[in-house]
Copies of this chain bind each other. A is one copy, B any other.
Amino acid sequence: VISELTGTIIKGNRLALARLLTEVENDTPSGRAGLNDLFTQTGKAHLVGITGAMGVGKSSLVNHLAQVFRKPSVEYPASRVAIVAVDPSSPFARGAFLGDRVRMRDLSGDPGIFIRSMAARGALGGLAHATAGLTQVLDAAGYDVILIETVGAGQAEVEIARLAHTTIVVEAPGMGDDIQASKAGILEVADILVINKADMNGIENAERVLHAMLELAQPVQHKGYHAAKAQIGEGADTPLWRTPVIRAIASKGDGAVDIVDAIRKHGEYLKDTGEWISRDHERLQAELDDLIQTTLVDRWKNDLPSGRYVQALGDLFLRRISPHQAVEQLFL
């Protein structure tokens, strides 16, 4: 049963969509009801995570990607594109708002593009959870491609990257040597690697370092096709994704066509190998397990006579009881 509100959203009412996104972001009862309502319509969009340190030019790149996705090509019709900009490091959406102004200038007026910013609120888990909700609403609203842009390269970004079907890591040469070329954790999850600012000095060096880092982070994919096959114990028929390294100059839009091409190829690869479905299931199960855990802890805390947790904690701090004994005491 689709309610009136969600019906108008599916029909393309942008104001209704913006309102529901706010409700979902704040995790209100009507936000949850809207999500429940729309959920049957999800599962079609290609979720693309774009991450990288501040200053590598992600926002500008994302704008150009959106514009390329909007143009029909010989092989592909125009896609409807939603952009979700997430800033986990900022308690308010400074960077994102700044980026939005540039975006409005470049992308506004196109009904096939929808832009949404989100800043850090509460816990890490909370942010990933809210982002999951937003992408579900946008997916149901009929956006074919959802570009999820995050600032920084910490744990929060890796968590958000795990939401995506395709994860793009953006790097840039220079900026205090290879400081940007860090993020051991996030390179492991990169499906596409972009070196932006390819007109800057040090591009060859950056490219060399990134190839070496990719080899460290993704040894199987980067040892060459046959060695990799042997290592994962698969036959020669199963295709294997080898993370491409693509040069770009986002300020001019250079490289955007190649990146969009790689995103589409990766989407096809995921569908051909069944990974599209397995990533989808992993994502949904992780979300369910997370909600179960939160619900259990919340209910338990509500039921516990007030003061008992603090009492146990105090005994623990004084080392009168061990952590296990504290749990036994609380679950008596």
Q: Which residues from chain A sit less than 8 Å from chain B, CB to CB?
A: 32, 35-36, 39-40, 42-43, 53, 152-155, 158, 176-179, 181-185, 205, 209, 212-213, 216, 280-281, 284-285, 287-288, 291-293, 295-297, 300, 312-313, 316-317, 319-327, 330-331
Contact = CB atoms under 8 A, between A and B. Distances in A.
B205 A295 contact: no
A313 B283 CA distance: 11
Contacts of A184: 53, 152-154, 182-183
A214 to B, nearest CB: 11
Given A36-B325, A182-B181, A300 B291 contact: no
Contact of A319 (B40, B216, B317): B40
Given A178-B177, A179-B213, A212-B176, A327 B185 contact: no
B40 A288 contact: no
Contact of A327 (B154, B292, B326): B292
Contacts of A292: 297, 300, 327, 330
Nearest to A312: B288
Given A154-B185, A288-B316, A296-B296, 18 more contacts: A36-B324, A39-B319, A39-B322, A39-B325, A43-B319, A155-B185, A176-B212, A178-B209, A179-B212, A179-B216, A183-B184, A280-B317, A284-B323, A288-B327, A291-B324, A291-B327, A292-B297, A295-B327
A331 B295 contact: yes
A251 B287 CA distance: 48
A300 B288 CA distance: 14
B291 A293 contact: no
Nearest to A215: B176
Nearest to A212: B176
A320 B40 contact: yes
A293 B297 contact: yes
Max chain B CB contacts within 10 Å: which of A32, A205, A319? A319
Contacts of A32: 324
B216 A316 contact: no
Contacts of A331: 295
Contacts of A182: 181-184
Contacts of A179: 178, 181, 209, 212-213, 216
Nearest to A154: B185
Nearest to A316: B284
A138 to B, nearest CB: 15
B323 A287 contact: yes
20 contacts: A36-B321, A36-B322, A39-B319, A39-B322, A39-B325, A40-B319, A154-B184, A155-B155, A155-B185, A179-B213, A182-B182, A182-B184, A284-B317, A284-B323, A285-B316, A288-B323, A291-B323, A292-B297, A293-B297, A296-B297
A329 to B, nearest CB: 11
Nearest to A324: B32
Nearest to A43: B319
A317 B330 CA distance: 36
A40 B319 CA distance: 5
